[in-house]
Amino acid sequence: MSYRAPVTEMRFLLDHVLGAGRLAETERFAEATGDMVDAILNEAARLAEDVLAPLRRAGDLEPARLENGVVRTSGGFSEAYKAIADGGWVGTAASPEFGGMGLPVSVLSCVNEILASANLALSLCPLLTQGQIEALEHHADDEMKALYLPKLVSGEWTGTMNLTEPQAGSDVGALRSKAEPKDDGSYSVTGTKIFISWGDHDFGGNVCHLVLARLPDGAPGTKGISLFLVPKFIPDADGNPGAANSLKVVSLEHKMGLHGSPTCVMEFDGATGWLVGAPHKGMAAMFTMMNNARLGVGIEGLSQAEAALQDAISYAQERRQGRTPEEGVETIQGHADVRRMLLTMAALTATARAICLDCAFSIDMATATGDAAWDARAAFLTPIAKAFGTDTGCAVSDLGIQVHGGMGFIEETGVAQYFRDVRVTAIYEGTNGIQAMDMVGRKLADGGTAAKALIAEIAATADAAGGALGARLAAAADALGAATDWMLGSELNDRFAGAVPYLRAFALALGGHYLLKGAAEGSDPQREALAAFHVERLLPEVPALCAQARGGAEQLYAWEIAS
């Protein structure tokens, strides 16, 4: 199967469902016209289809390897990364002041989906650099910005994020890495970090590590953590890579998937680094990068759902197996259960894309207008985008294997790679359970204002749709509203116990909202059929999920976990 970027679907969603044309009416994004967006997405599609996609299997079969302390990447990856950098794709949304295009995050999100669908392992490298760019734009001093941002934006240098330690995974406050101040204003950083994606490579340039560590006077827990920029090579007086820093790759992780992406154990042994932002405020600076990454990871999940869906449709159109009840159809696409799987895959993928792009669009509107309501909307959608996007990647790639039957379990077909590659996305950048707890904790701390505003949008779409489909969506909105009220009146651990079903209920209700809005635009039988399937077959889960969400924590602790 040859991947084809869904540019037409992206443009329809942006223009007719989300109303993203409003961005070009703002001063900040005046250049993001329809013609400009078309040109950007079509060019990204050519890069993905012609350069990145042919290397997807090579990255899986020829993993990155560590040789004498040097990371060697999969065949063709270095040249493909150069094509990404030379095309300016790393700096799609970065500030023009430092060489970026300054385009909306919603456009960047489409580009990132296209690149990740074609080759998820390689696309992680520029994605991490984009997160570092945003963190430095917000928190670095002018001198650091001037030195590092042009190199990062151009893709000449790449960036990483170093949070996790063997004893400190999701509990970042348990880290042991330390930083000692030096006389010249720099710091000596010491510690071991694990699970560092693209911690090194053979692309040339410099690898710039953002490292969380504790100063000697740092308080215990997350409040005492600072953030440091620690480059692989210390820049010389001219800003070029100079002497090698005191850091190294100890080993590469042996992973279930993403074999082409080197995941490193990094050792910093008194490495020279520079403080980013204020002392002891490292988590605030890192969360800028993590929030960027959470949306980006949701899009990674979406990307593999799209790729797996395309592959499954192609196979179903070619595979002959048994007699079908559909006149003139001799392939398995005529079987009712295969159609059920394909429609489920398509509906979940469309929902995940809409949530991710709505989140990105909300970020853009907050940036362009300064309106706090848009900012709150983006914040509330972020954990949904991350968790539902990656859950969808796992579910859809799993269904893709099922559509292929026994051939899906055979590695030679390449179908299992989608699932193996995407599975980790539900874990990193905050597990999906943590995303759900954030949603019912911090994101409801406004008294439910942002949540209720979205529920009102869903209810308005239900009223506009009318009929049986509108009634089903209205019932989902009512159930979601009742669950939200329950959350607001409950103890925090009771909320946490029902957080995951609450998030999924919200996502599925939003899917009905987006798909019905899309079906109302014109008279496209395909859109109408997909919307009807989602509302009739997937939306009935919402009341049941909301009932689970209100179950409380007591029952979970009544069962004694046996050793």
Rounded Cα distance between 518 and 19, Å, is 11
Using DSSP bridges, classify how beta strands 233-235 and 178-181 pair: parallel, antiparallel or unpaired. unpaired
Q: Which two tokens stand for residue 179?
A: 């930083």
Question: Please, are residues 533 and 527 in contact by the beta-carbon 8 Å criterion?
Answer: no
Q: Which domains does the chain have, with CATH numbers?
A: 7-136+149-154 (1.10.540.10), 158-284 (2.40.110.20), 291-554 (1.20.140.10)
Measuring CA to CA, how many Å separate 162 from each of 61, 176, 218, 321, 377?
A: 27, 13, 18, 50, 28
What are 436's two structure tokens? Answer: 């759900």
From residue 260, give the alpha-carbon distance in Å to each of 122, 306, 428: 7, 20, 17
What's residue 1's pLDDT? 59
Give the burial class of 320: count Cβ atoms within 10 A of its Cβ; 0-12 exposed, 13-18 middle, 19 or more buried. Answer: exposed
User: What Cα–Cα distance (Å) separates residue 196 from each residue in 178, 210, 378, 399, 524?
Assistant: 18, 11, 27, 30, 45
In this structure, are residues 252 and 64 in contact, taking their beta carbons and an 8 Å threshold?
A: yes
- Describe the crossing of helices 120-139 and 105-118 by its angle, rounded to 10 degrees: 150
The token duo for 281 is 């405020």
Residue 401 has what pLDDT?
98
Residue 524 burial (CB count, 10 A): 13
Condensed to tens digits (0 to 9), the pLDDT of residues 441-489 reads: 999 999 999 999 999 999 999 999 999 999 999 999 999 999 999 999 9
Three-state SS for 393-460 is HHHHHHHHHHHHHHHHHCHHHCHHHHHHHHHHHHCCCCCHHHHHHHHHCHHHCCCCHHHHHHHHHHHH
Nearest Cα residue to 390 out of 401, 382, 402: 382
Question: Is 457 noted as a catalytic residue in this protein?
Answer: no
Question: Which pTM was predicted?
Answer: 0.96
pLDDT of 169 reads: 72
d(CA 319, CA 203): 41
Contact status, residue 502 vs residue 545, Cβ threshold 8 Å: yes
The conformational region for residue 110 under phi > 0 = left, psi -120 to 50 = alpha, else beta, is alpha
Which tokens hold the place of 245? 């820093």
Catalytic residue among 134, 137, 300, 429: 429
Instruction: Please give the Cα distance from 320 to 206 (Å, whole number).
Output: 52
Regions in the chain scoring below 50 on pLDDT: none
Give me the phi and psi of 458, to 5 degrees please: -60, -45
d(CA 162, CA 265): 10
pLDDT of residue 429: 87
